[in-house]
Structure 1
Amino acid sequence: MRGWLRLTVGLLAVVLGALWTVLGLGYVEGSALTDERLWAAAGPVVVLIGLVALWFGMRARRR
């Protein structure tokens, strides 16, 4: 069970960050986040945090 929490949180962060980026850039309509620069900037940061969490989760799973 080592690393599963990090993998889950990392995957969730990558998906959420990608969604925020797409919403912030205005590619998806119908949300309060659409065309907001804050979400277009915060999304990639969350994606990077998620990728780091995935990397640490994969390292924990290999041991």
Structure 2
Amino acid sequence: MLRIIMQVFGTALVLVGGLWTLQGLGLVMWPAESFMLGQDSWAVYGGIAMAVGLVLLWLTRRRIPRR
């Protein structure tokens, strides 16, 4: 059960982090009234969120030996 929760949370972090990064870089200008558009700090926050999400996904892929 914990593995599924980590996979869902990791996937969400990768997707949201990607959006934040693209908005921060000014490549995605949606929604038009967003305060994140063209802000370098949000590109960094998005990259960090994506990295954390990828680590969570990687941790769930590791095989745990069964007894």
TM class by smaller structure: 0.7 to 0.9
Between the aligned partners of 1:47 and 1:6, the Cα distance in structure 2 is: 14
Relative to its length, the structure with more helix (as a share) is: 1
TM-score calculated relative to the size of structure 2: 0.81
TM-score by length of 1: 0.86
Corresponding residue for residue 47 of structure 1:
50
What do you get for the CA RMSD once the two structures are aligned? 1.2
Larger-Rg structure: 2
Which consecutive unaligned segments of at least 5 residues does structure 1 have?
Answer: none
Give the number of aligned pairs: 61
Which segments of 5 or more consecutive residues in structure 2 lack a partner in the other structure?
Answer: none
Stretches of 4+ moved more than 2 A in 1? none
Q: Secondary structure at the match of 1:3?
A: helix
The answer as to 2:62 corresponding to 1:56 is no
